[in-house]
Chains A and B, each alone.
Chain A
Amino acid sequence: MANTQSMCTSFMQQLMVGEHQLGTATLVSRTSLTAPTTDTLKAALYLTTATVNASTTAYSASNEVSGTGYTAGGVVVTNATAPTSTNASATAGVAFFTPSASITYTTVTLATAFDAVLIYNFTQSNKAISVHTFGSQTITAGTFTLTMPANTTSTALIRLATT
């Protein structure tokens, strides 16, 4: 068993049918014709013994970390930055998105090693977006902070690029 960093395959299909609203609300909501809403994203941590990867379709509590101060499902991801796109040429461009703040689990004790975070859409039935891995960690009466990569065309957390 191992966790693998990847965009979740189901997320790609769901983008095509407009199931996700990342960043600041720019589209009329699927549930309201007058008031745009932003989906709530959450971040859940997974044990090194878990298997979260491209085939993960939704958040699951199976093999999620547990411990003092940690609530199943993880924490809300600050989701205030609108996705951006830019063209590099007449045939190539990149759309990219990074949550606007670090993901922080404050005053937790997570005694069993974990090495992955699943970003998922809490508003849309916990549908999986992406998996990000890092070196194995434990936390003891402390804080675990995940800082996002810079929101650029080459390093943003989620990138969609033409070939």
Chain B
Amino acid sequence: MALVNTTKGEMDEALLEKKEGFVDNDNEYTTWVEYWLDGELVHRSAHVQLKKSVGLKIEAASFG
């Protein structure tokens, strides 16, 4: 029996409706999972995997 932390405390996963999804683009790969109980969202987790850095270009000036 897998337990899920919810707004109503830990519940048996089998009693809940599970929805999953993902977003995949140039910036991120994100997965999320939701658990619903009688039409009410009782749990939502998300995992964002960042793909991009923030970069800084450095330049050395020439003399003369």
Residues in A lying within 8 Å of B, measured CB to CB? 5-7, 12, 96, 107, 109, 130-135, 137-149, 154-163
Contact = CB atoms under 8 A, between A and B. Distances in A.
Given A132-B54, A158-B54, A142 B59 contact: no
Contacts of A133: 27
29 contacts: A5-B27, A5-B54, A6-B54, A7-B56, A109-B7, A130-B54, A132-B50, A132-B54, A135-B23, A135-B28, A137-B32, A138-B44, A141-B5, A141-B6, A141-B7, A141-B43, A141-B44, A142-B33, A144-B46, A145-B48, A149-B52, A157-B53, A158-B53, A158-B56, A159-B53, A162-B57, A162-B59, A162-B60, A163-B58
Contact of A140 (B23, B43, B48, B52): B43
Contacts of A135: 23, 28, 30, 48
Main secondary structure of the interface of A (DSSP, over half): strand
Interface of B: 5-7, 23, 27-28, 30, 32-34, 41-60
User: Majority SS of interface residues in chain B?
Assistant: strand
A156 B56 CA distance: 12
A132 B59 CA distance: 24
Nearest to A94: B55
A149 B50 contact: yes
A138 B46 CA distance: 8
A146 B55 CA distance: 19
A97 B59 CA distance: 19
A122 to B, nearest CB: 19
Contact of B57 (A138, A147, A161): A161
B58 A162 contact: yes
B58 A161 contact: yes
Contacts of A109: 7
Contacts of B7: 109, 140-141
A7 B55 contact: yes
Given A5-B27, A140-B44, A144-B46, 17 more contacts: A6-B54, A135-B28, A135-B30, A139-B44, A139-B46, A140-B42, A140-B43, A141-B5, A147-B47, A149-B50, A149-B52, A158-B53, A159-B55, A160-B56, A161-B55, A162-B57, A163-B59
